[in-house]
Structure 1
Amino acid sequence: MRKNWFYKLLLSYLPALFIITLSLLLIAFLSINELTKKSSQKASQELSRNLMKLLDHTLGGFDAMMQYELLNNEKLKGFFRDTADNREYSDIVAAVALKELLANNPGIESVYLFRATDQMVLTPSTLKSFGQFDDRTFIGNRMSSPDIYRWTARALPMREGQGVVSLAKIADFKYNSLLVVNIKAQYLREMMLGMYDPEVTAVHLFDAEGHPILGANDQPNAQETAAKQKVGPDTATSAYTGWSVRNEPKGAPLLNLVSSLFYVWIAFGFVVIAAGIAWFVYLTKQNYRPVQTILKRIAEMRNETSPDEFEKEKDDFHLIESTIERLFGESITLQEQNKENIVYRKKHVFLHLLEAASDEEAEPLVLEAKRFGFAPQAGGAIMAIVEIDQFAEFVHQYNRDQYLLKNVLVMALKELAESKPFQLWPEWVGSQHLAVMFALQDATADEQDVQSMCEKLRHWVEHNLDFTVTIGLGFHVAELKRIPGSYRAAWTALQYKPSLGGNRIIDQEDLDGHSKEDLYRHLNDIRTLCQSFRAGESHWETALDELHRTLRSRLFAREELINVMNVLLYHLNKEIDEMSGPFLELWNSGVRQQLQESLKRHETADDLIGAFRTLLREAFQSMQELRESQSTGALIQNMKRMIDEHYADPNFSLGYIGDQFGLSGGYLSRLFKEAFGVRFVEYVTDVRTEHAKRLLAETDEAIQQIAAAVGYTNSLTFIRVFKKQTGITPGQYRKDAQQD
């Protein structure tokens, strides 16, 4: 593509743009520099004040310390007493006090005492006469100075180049004895350096006479000595010492020079910008001419030859844009429609292929799948269905994000299938189920590869998402037209998820490895469980556990599980409906509805029976508390205990219990019926039948012996009652129990 016009425009505009940009940058730089200068001045003022406050605070602290020692340190005061009995001892004690003062104050370079009575000077290590002391000049100046308490910056004569700040305090007003403290200039300088960067800011310190002090090496250097004290907004003066601090940024002369020409540079920048704008206008007129030519030609193509209509166009590029859109609009629209149609068509072919009833019906759909790029090679194909576990909770928790998570599931599946020896085709066949068609690409790929990849998907979902999936695998088919059978097999495998459990892979071997049984043969056990629950017997939970073990050992579909649990719920409701008002009210207050909701919410036998067990345990506890709270509760429980103890007695009857409690049999019968919902005789029969079941299952005793053990003298009566209660004879029950 030729770009002559592009380069022409670029070269014509770039110089003007470059000049204008530089002018704007210059103006911005000057403006920022001016603002920076003002901010720097404020910062300098604040820095000077803070440095001076720091010096005043530090020197004032030493001053207060000296005053405190003179007033309170008996060791020092003993040195100045002219009546000391033991002068040598007082001098040694005072020297020790001076050493302690040095040790406790690292900023002090040296300290000594001058006793005017005998003209002696005491340091922490020596005692000399005034004439032999190196610093006698300073002592003499202080003694003759009218302002003796002033801080003085100087160099120690005994240490050349060692700068100090000294203060002399009168310790004895009678003889004008002195305490002299020399503060290290290095100590003060290090404190000040903590508040500014010497590479950026130069700080000058002047004494009360305007002489510079505190140079880089404890004393002012040549540059600092030549510096003049200039009182300005960035100078801070101490009322305590009379010293002044002034700071200025390094390189300030250059910045001041630039700032002095600020308005000149601003005016120059605006002049350049105005010239650039004029140049832009000129270039725009020159470059607009080709556009005018294009517009005229487009107008001729659209038969818009009227000059008046051409001049009325609000947007000069409207004709160009509309012409291009007319050329490409229909083509783009058709392409987008074709993409959408492909997505819907692909899913349509997928669903109809799975539902094909015969090979003849599937063959044209297989051809369609090949046109979409899905065609198994020599390896055949396998069908899998991914089911989201606990879907009701999934929808409730991810009401808005469930479609995003489903898309994440599909993307994870595709990513795991990369570089695998098969091609996959996933489509959602329902809100909870993702059907995946695996096309094995070579003879080396088999069902184990597919199962391994499905296991990786299950593991990835479990550890990276907040839900789990169960995957049903169909059988391998040699041709794609046989895939409907594999799909139905995968769907059938998922139906046994309540029995086998969720968050796993269910293949055809899992179905073949479990026995199937009619679950309805345990309906009598369900009725017995419900009666025990109603009667307040705790072994109802044992019966529920036994039902759970039976379900776990058998293979059943979800529909069968729901039917069995509906039977259990039906008998529970029937038994409770026959109880008295408080128990029925307790049951209807929420237990009945919660049990019904559990049937919809849980998908596996373990989860469903676990939910039932929790709800029934809470309801049973509440019913027991209700029984115990009633006035006749204790009497009823005693009757129940007597039944458990004397059920094997053939002569045991309601009259026998009445004699024990001194109550009529009719009254006791009515109380028993109200408490347990069954008649006394029926309850005793149930107890004897349960014990007979246990003996039949656990012992080899004869029927006659078992009949006598549970209170029946006649074995025929026992057999008749047992069959009425359970639906089968004792011998058949023993046979079934031994098979289990």
Structure 2
Amino acid sequence: MKIRWFYRLLFTFLPVFVLIISAILTTFFMVLTETAEKEAEQAAGVQARQISAAVDSLLLTIDQHATYELLSNRMFHQFLDASELGNHFLNYEVATRLKDLVVLTSMHSAYLYRQHDKTVITDSGVLALDRFSDKGFVEAAEAEVSSDGWTNPRDYPDYTGATKDRVITLVKHVPAGLGNQGMLIVNVSLNKIQTLFRELAQSNIVNYSLYDRGGKGFFGTKSAPAKDKASLYTSDITGFSVGGAFLQERSFGLITRLADNWLWIVIAIVVLGVLLFVYLIRKSTRPVDAIIDRIKTYAFKKSQLLGTGKDEFQFIESALDKLVEQSQQYEREADEGLRYKKKQFFVEVMEGSFKPEQLDWKMMFSSAGLSADYQKLALIVFEIDRFSDFIAEYNTKDQYLLKFALDNVVIECAQASGLLVWPEWINSNQLAVIAQTKPEQIESSQTVIEGWCELVRKWVEQYLKFTLTIGVGECVDVIEELPLSFESAATALKYKSTLGTNRVIGYWNLDRAESKELFDQVAKIRVIAQQYCTGNEGWEEELQAVFVNLKDNLFSKSEILNIFHYFQYCLLSRITEMSEEYNEIWKKHIQPELSAVLNRFETLQELEERLMRGLRSGAEQLESLRAKRNVLHTMTEVRDFIRERLSDPNLSLQSVSEHFGMTQSTLSRLFKNEFGEKFVDYLARMRMELAKRLLQETEKSVHEIAEEIGYNHAFSFIRVFKKLEGVTPGDYRKSDSAK
């Protein structure tokens, strides 16, 4: 009994003594820790100022270059001056200088805005503000004359308005403070700033972030709470802030208060220890009374909790029900968390950021219905065709229902084919599926997967009101190679415009994708645009030949769009040089139709039908306008006169104008208004076309050909030929023979 009482007293008072000593030592340790943390914060603040200075230096350099160009570049001032409207050579020089400025300073982009006629010039050309993709920003900057300087990060759309880059923008009003002439606007890519920032902000202790004037992170990070920031330095030049947060979680407030009041804390611990000793001694000497008091106290509280309507069993039952409800809630939350982890794991595997050693991927495979002991893996992408029509026809609820049905069809057809699959929606119109073959299917994996995809495609076509185009990726042996399979599947879908929709496109269908000649199509497009604008009926046959070539060779949708966007640009360049009546037809009829076709087509066949129909309609309107104009007949005779006398060395603007009884300036102006091409350019082009035919079809020397097309000196012919065709006549004949 004595021994038991001794140990009871020993284990009652000894822990209190140890606790008091430990609390005092812990207090002193916190004081030392706070001192070290303050020194770390000071060091972090110094580095934050250095990082801010480096970013300021980069932006200040770009600002100085922009300011220097505004002050010293005469072409910029001429462009902004309203008296220089329509000076195409000046526009070209300004665009070239803007391009040099962008390359020199590694900007993202730069453009000038002329307020007088609301015109914007970029490094690629001149266009009206209403057609400029960054119109909203220009109008906002124009309204705020005092807004010169750097903006917060923003989205900068490309010329189509579809793709947006994150940039910060420098606005310079001209003249400064008034801005009644225009603005110079310079964009700097956030990727460039992020690269510099990451090089300077490397630290194993502090995580640095760059914030704009509103406290929002530059690179998608949220503003950290003030208590988590190790430092925050704001630039006087840009207003941007550099902040740092320690990588290890710290309790600033508690440690600071403890460090400032450590003496009082020690005294409080001692007093508390004394009171605790008194309490324990009293408790040890009166154990029975303490137990009785606790029972009485509990009984009193219990009676208050139960009230008059519930007994103890009802209270216990309600407590258990609440416990079960809370447990179910926790299970639901855990299930939601698992679904999120599965989706995140799927995306990481697809993108190649997955690392097997960082996650139990076998558990993820098992939860998704796959086996960890696989033989072959492949990633397949199911894409809904004509998705714009799909979302227009069905409301959000119906869309979810149809997508849910597609999920089940994919799984059930896979079971029928002996495959294990894991489907996940990666885009609103794309369902990606990891497919896994069984050991007995290892030799026929591609055939089995292709048959399964065809089964899904036919079922959807028959029972659902939309169709699918399916991209099949390569079969791989290890999970780390699944990104290669996804890349080949995504690449296959890029060619559905050429190969067609509602079909299975495998990586094996892309053998012809590397043999196409994109430059040849671009060169033909430029000639077709010229023929179309000058009323040459051969444009239709030439354009159909281009479509035949596109069908024979495998072109992706992006390549097709690039070709026909260039065609649209060539048409615009030609027609804008013609009279206002032709421009009206272009703006109201031809251009809207072309843009609509290029934005909505799915297949090359659809593009050909709609594009040819729109162009024919436009050509009829242009031809009708030519027929109504009094000068059409005369200009047609002038054009025929030139074609018949290409071999005449005396053929010139002066001789033709004398023949038709006009002044040279009048004939030149009327010719350009009707055909969108200068007289001298047309004469040179016709002679070069004849020269190319002679080089291809005859064995005549360059000197003989020069004389035959109206050049007295072969040197002049060679110089003009190289200027227009990019090669000398001899090299052109050699390249044609090689083909």
What TM-score, normalized to structure 2?
0.53
Q: How many residues align?
A: 436
What are the Cα deviations for residues 635-677 of structure 1, in whole angstroms up to 9, with x where unaligned? 2222233334443554544455446544444432221122122
For residues 699 and 458 of structure 2, the distance between their equivalents in structure 1, rounded to whole angstroms, comes to 50
Deviates more, 1:582-591 or 1:540-549: 540-549
The one-letter code sitting in structure 2 at the alignment partner of 1:601 is R
SS at match of 1:618: helix
Residue 257 of structure 1 is matched in structure 2 by none
State the partner residue of 1:474: 473
Partner of 1:432: 429
Q: Kindly tell me: are residues 587 and 368 of structure 1, through their superposed partners in 2, closer, same or farther at Cα, counting changes over 3 Å?
A: same
Quickly say closer, same or farther: Cα 1:476–1:543, change in 2 above 3 A: same
CA distance, structure 2, for counterparts of residue 399 and residue 700 of structure 1: 68
User: Alpha-carbon deviation of 1:623?
Assistant: 1.0
SS at match of 1:416: helix
Instruction: Give the 3 Å change call, closer, same or farther, for CA 688–614 of structure 1 in structure 2.
Output: farther
Report the residue type matching 2:499 in the other structure: L
Corresponding residue SS for 1:386:
strand
| RMSD value, Cα | 3.6
SS for the counterpart of 1:382 is strand
Matches within 5 A, 1:328-347: 328-347=324-343
Using the alignment, how far apart are the partners of 1:739 and 1:407 within structure 2? 57
Contact 2:521 2:563 (C-alpha < 8 Å) held by counterparts: no
Residues of 2 paired with 1:613 and 1:373: CA distance? 50
Q: What residue in structure 1 maps to residue 180 of structure 2?
A: none
Work out whether 1:393 is the aligned partner of 2:392. no
Give, in angstroms, the shift of residue 491 of structure 1: 1.9
SS in 1 for 2:381: strand
**2-structure distance, mates of 1:600, 1:574:** 21
Distance in 1 (alpha carbons) for counterparts of 2:610 and 2:361? 46
Matched, 1:416 2:413: yes
Separation in 2, partners of 1:611, 1:697: 35
Once residues 698 and 500 of structure 1 are traced to their aligned partners in structure 2, the CA distance between those partners, rounded to angstroms, is 36
Judging changes above 3 Å, is the alpha-carbon distance between structure 1 residues 411 and 647 closer, same or farther for their aligned structure 2 residues? farther
Number of the residue aligned with 2:601: 602
d(CA) in 2 for partners of 1:402 and 1:702?
69
Give the Cα–Cα distance (whole angstroms) in 2 for the partners of residues 468 and 710 of structure 1.
57
Q: Does the 8 Å contact 1:462/1:468 carry over to 2? A: yes
Change (3 A) 1:706 1:394: farther
Q: How does 1:295-374 map to 2 (within 5 A)?
A: 309=309, 325-326=321-322, 328-357=324-353, 360=356, 364-374=360-370
CA distance in 2, matches of 1:462, 1:692: 55
Is the Cα–Cα contact under 8 Å of residues 377 and 440 in structure 1 kept in the other structure?
Answer: no
In the alignment, what sits opposite 2:292? none
SS of the residue aligned with 1:569?
helix
**Within-5 A mapping of 1:621-660:** 621-654=620-653, 657-658=656-657
Tell whether the 8 Å contact from 2:370 to 2:436 is kept in structure 1 after alignment: yes
CA contact (8 A) 2:348 2:354 kept: no
Alignment of 1:151-190 (within 5 A): none
Match of 2:371 in 1: 375
Cα distance in 1, alignment partners of residues 416 and 499 from structure 2: 32
CA distance in 2, matches of 1:514, 1:418: 34
CA spacing shift, 1:608–1:667, aligned 2, 3 Å: same
The 1:333/1:663 distance shift into structure 2, 3 A limit, reads: same
Deviation of 1:680 (Å): 1.6
Residue 527 in 1 paired to residue 526 in 2? yes
> Does the CA contact (< 8 Å) of 2:379 and 2:482 recur in 1?
yes
Equivalent residue for 2:487? 488
Distance 1:377 1:698, change over 3 A: farther
Identity of aligned residues (%): 33
2:431 match: secondary structure:
strand
Conservation of the 8 A alpha-carbon contact between 1:366 and 1:481: no
Give the TM-score of the pair, scaled to structure 1: 0.52
Q: Classify the secondary structure of the residue corresponding to 2:501.
A: coil
- Amino acid across the alignment from 2:600: R
Q: What is the CA deviation profile of residues 671-710 of structure 1, one whole-angstrom value per residue up to 9, with x for unaligned ones?
A: 1122122222211222233344455556666656655665
What is the CA–CA distance in structure 2 between the aligned matches of 1:684 and 1:623, rounded to whole Å? Answer: 23
Q: Secondary structure at the match of 1:437?
A: strand
CA 1:381 to 1:672, structure 2 compared with 1: closer, same or farther past 3 Å? same
The answer for the alignment partner of 2:574 in structure 1 is 575
- Does residue 454 of structure 1 match 2:453? yes
**Cα offset for 1:735?**
5.0
* 1:203-214 paired onto structure 2 within 5 Å: none
Aligned residue type for 2:378: I
Distance 2:738 2:496 in 1: 26
After TM superposition, the structure 1 = structure 2 runs for residues 112-261 of structure 1, keeping only pairs within 5 Å, are: none
Residue of structure 2 in register with 1:678 after alignment: 677
* Residue 484 to residue 676, structure 1, CA distance change in 2 (3 Å): same
Change (3 A) 1:730 1:503: farther
Give ranges in structure 2 of 5+ residues lacking alignment. Answer: 1-301
Q: Matched residues in 2 for 1:358 and 1:732: separation?
A: 53
Q: Deviations over 1:462-511 (max 9, x none)?
A: 34444332221111111234322211222222233344343332222222
Question: Which residue type is aligned with residue 454 of structure 1?
Answer: C
Structure 1 alignment gaps of length 5 or more: 1-301, 312-317
Q: Quick check: 1:703–1:730 contact (8 Å CA) kept in 2?
A: yes
Tell me, in whole angstroms, the C-alpha distance in 1 between the residues paired with 2:468 and 2:502. 5
**How far apart are the structure 2 equivalents of 1:386 and 1:567?**
31
* C-alpha separation in 1, matches of 2:733 and 2:457: 44
Using the TM superposition, give the Cα deviation of residue 519 of structure 1 relative to its aligned residue in structure 2, in angstroms.
1.7
Contact 1:374 1:423 in 2 (8 A): yes
2:575 alignment partner, SS class: helix
Which of the pair has more CA radius of gyration?
A: 1
Deviation at 1:388, TM superposition (A): 2.0
Residues 607 and 307 (structure 1 numbering): CA distance in 2 closer, same or farther, change over 3 Å?
Answer: closer
Work out the CA distance in 1 between the residues paired with 2:548 and 2:436: 40
